[in-house]
Amino acid sequence: MLCVGLDPDPSRLPSSLNQEPDGLQKFCRRIVDATAEYVCAFKPQVAYFAASGREDDLASLITYIHEHHPAIPVILDAKRGDIGSTARLYAQEAFTRYAADAVTVNPYAGEESVLPYLEYADRGVIVLCRTSNTGSDWLQKYPSIYPGIEPVYLRVADAAARWNTNGNVMLVAGATFPEELGAIRARVGDMPLLVPGIGAQGGDLRSVITVGCDSRGAGLVINASRSVLYASDGPDFADSFAEGAADAAREMRDEIRKLQSELAPDRAVV
């Protein structure tokens, strides 16, 4: 259930790669090859490529993953959210230009901002529901101060369940809010959840497994980015970053399996 997020910060890349025109892509390819046997998905973040005009590198990276690791889906972390006519183009960008297997979307503009993605019945649509960042409460938990009125994140969960007619909808539910993660799981049944916030953001893996697994003891795509990419950060980083990433991914994969067996031994799917 481990997903490795590909968020290549140029300031943290080995200097030797930073000096190469395709250094960002080479860094990600080595991470992919080193961690592929431990993951269920890869999740490249668009901004880390687009900010420096490297969208073509992103497209090439996704093509590389599909060609060299065809069993592993690619989640394009774009968090797109706009009115219907624009959303249609964003969906085309994600699924045609980049050939991503799934994309993250923001439902704030309403149903019309999500429906164009759902027209691609063979692709995943991952809807922001309860994000892992600490500043999200002001909107996602509103109006929690009023008894009997459901917060926004549960309204999103209900809507996602309605939209899931093709079985291709997921929800983002942050590891940093395990109580809300459990509430989302209770609301949407066995719908898969993308769970950011483990690792650098401090989410607790045990809590996620305890409240987040579906009826089969699975149903989670648990993302780790910086804690894997820069696991060997130090003087020898240029020579060991891929090996360090592999070690970190293997350790997290093994910990997930251990917790599955411990917390849901009759349902664990490994």
Q: Which residues are catalytic?
A: 79
- Secondary structure (H, E, C), 52-90: CCCHHHHHHHHHHHHHHCCCCCEEEEEEECCCHHHHHHH
**Closest-CA residue to 123 (of 102, 137, 108):** 102
Tell me the H-state helices in 111-225.
115-118, 137-140, 152-163, 178-188, 205-212
Q: How far apart are CA 192 and CA 123, in angstroms?
A: 14
Neighbours of 44 (CB within 10 A): 26
**Tokens 């909107």 — which residue?**
139
**Tokens 């592929």 — which residue?**
36
Q: Which residues contact 65 (CB under 8 A, 6 or more apart)?
A: 32, 42, 72, 74
Query: Is residue 190 helix, strand or coil?
Result: coil
Q: How far apart are CA 192 and CA 189, in angstroms?
A: 9
CB of 81 closer than 8 Å to CB of 106: yes
The pair of three-digit structure tokens given for residue 232, joined into one six-digit string: 């060997």
